Chain A
Amino acid sequence: MATTTPLLSSVEVARFVANGYHRMDAVVPDELNQEAIGVFDAGIPVVYSGEPVAKVYEEGSFVRRLLEVPAVAGALHSLIGPDPLVDHQALHIREPHEGAAQPLHADAIIDTRPDAFDVQLMYYPHEVTGTMGGTLSVPGSHLRRTNESDTGRYQNLRGQTRLTCPAGTVVLLHHGIWHGGRRNDSDSRRYMFKIRFNPTVPQVRLWDTGDLDDPQITRELSRFFPWCEHATGRLEVYNRIKLWRAMTGDASFDIDLWATRVANRPGRAA
């Protein structure tokens, strides 16, 4: 996988830590998008591999070239690191007027890692319009500890994102984000190709850290989301502080003393 490509900034990674996703509109060239439909129609099996990218996808294959798109390679490197493992791949197809939406869920099983995360790449080779049932996701939900589709009771949340995007859009998701394929009410078939990656190195300062002191980082990590209870939203900020500390190696990082205050026990052992 190419790694000499544009890395994300600290502000962009902080936004990922808060939102649980990094979206890149129309970054995949048209010729690759055109090729994708044929590749997908030929069939892509669901495969769980746990092997390096180079072992799973041949040099020059469609997926290798997709992962070598500079913006994609740089963002992946920034979040998951060099030489990740391919956890699995899956092609999701929503047929025209397909009747049902997926229940809101997080993939795999409840995942309590405080200092590591998987990244899921979602690629849309064609334009996704409002009626095509683009992926529903809930920004900021990724740090909630819930198990798969136990969130299926929630149909709609304030601030949810019903994806519409131009062809060639790639979204990188934190493994924990609540999401689901929506009902396709259009006359068009909708494709989404997904690859889940596992890190093989500590996810610490893997991005362009030149702006690590930018005050915008604090503003990104402090964000409150419209669906989140006010009180629990404070805990979300606390948990983002913990993750940012892990990802920067800076155990003193804090926002408005949220983490420092509750750890202050003068004269006591930690």
Chain B
Amino acid sequence: MKQQVLVLYLNTSALDSEVLAWAFYDGTGRTDPTTGDSDLPPYGTGTEALRDGWRLFQASQLLPPYPGHEYDTSYLKHEFFFEKLE
């Protein structure tokens, strides 16, 4: 059994919000995704991925900013990991 992993970065913490960024890792070896290989996301929202059979297995937590760093921006906030097994 081999795992395919899809990572979607969403506009808000809601799973049905818009996909802003994405990554795909293919344990089957059939494809070789890499940085900067597509301008179009595979799905419009997180829930579209669910409807296509992807299983959500991790979502980023909502963490309060560190005191004194409330206005700092850093990594993409709303990260959702999905998998398919073949």
Residues B66-86 near A (CB distance < 8 A): 71-78
B34 surroundings in chain A (CB, below 8 A): 100-101, 155, 183
B7 surroundings in chain A (CB, below 8 A): 153
| A235 with B39: CB separation less than 8 A | no
| B52 beta carbon closer than 8 Å to chain A | no
With both beta carbons as reference points, the residue of chain B lying nearest to A153 in the complex is identified as B23
Contacts known (A154-B9, A229-B20, A230-B11); A160 close to B39, Cβ less than 8 A: yes
Say whether chain B's binding surface is mostly helix, strand, loop, or mixed: loop
**Min distance, Cβ B29 to any Cβ of chain A, angstroms:** 15
| B11 with A145: CB separation less than 8 A | no
Residues A69-103 near B (CB distance < 8 A): 100-103
| B50 beta carbon closer than 8 Å to chain A | no
- Using a CB–CB cutoff of 8 Å, the interface residues on chain B facing chain A are 7, 9-12, 19-24, 33-39, 41, 71-78
**Min distance, Cβ B67 to any Cβ of chain A, angstroms:** 15
Max count, chain B CB within 10 A of own CB: residue among A100, A157, A227, A236: A157
A154 surroundings in chain B (CB, below 8 A): 9, 21, 23, 35, 76
A100 to B33, CA, bound (A): 10
| A180 with B71: CB separation less than 8 A | no
A136 surroundings in chain B (CB, below 8 A): 35-36
**Min distance, Cβ B35 to any Cβ of chain A, angstroms:** 4
A103, A162, A180, A236: the one contacting B39 at CB < 8 Å is: A162
A239 to B7, CA, bound (A): 28
| A35 beta carbon closer than 8 Å to chain B | no
> Can you spell out 7 A-B residue pairs with CB atoms less than 8 angstroms apart?
A100-B34, A102-B35, A144-B74, A150-B75, A156-B35, A229-B78, A231-B12
| A232 beta carbon closer than 8 Å to chain B | yes
B9, B20, B39, B72: the one contacting A145 at CB < 8 Å is: B72
B10 surroundings in chain A (CB, below 8 A): 229
A101, A155, A235: the one contacting B73 at CB < 8 Å is: A235
A150 to B11, CA, bound (A): 20
Beyond the given pairs A144-B75, A157-B9, 17 more chain A to chain B contacts, judged by CB atoms under 8 angstroms and listed by A's residue number, are A100-B34, A101-B34, A104-B35, A146-B75, A154-B21, A154-B76, A155-B21, A155-B23, A155-B24, A155-B36, A155-B38, A156-B36, A158-B41, A182-B35, A229-B78, A230-B11, A235-B73
A150 to B74, CA, bound (A): 11
| A226 with B20: CB separation less than 8 A | yes
A151 surroundings in chain B (CB, below 8 A): 75
| A230 with B12: CB separation less than 8 A | yes
B37 surroundings in chain A (CB, below 8 A): 101, 155-156, 182-183
A239 to B23, CA, bound (A): 28
**Min distance, Cβ B7 to any Cβ of chain A, angstroms:** 7
Residues A207-265 near B (CB distance < 8 A): 226-232, 235-236, 238-239
Residues A5-40 near B (CB distance < 8 A): none
| A173 beta carbon closer than 8 Å to chain B | no
| A232 with B35: CB separation less than 8 A | no
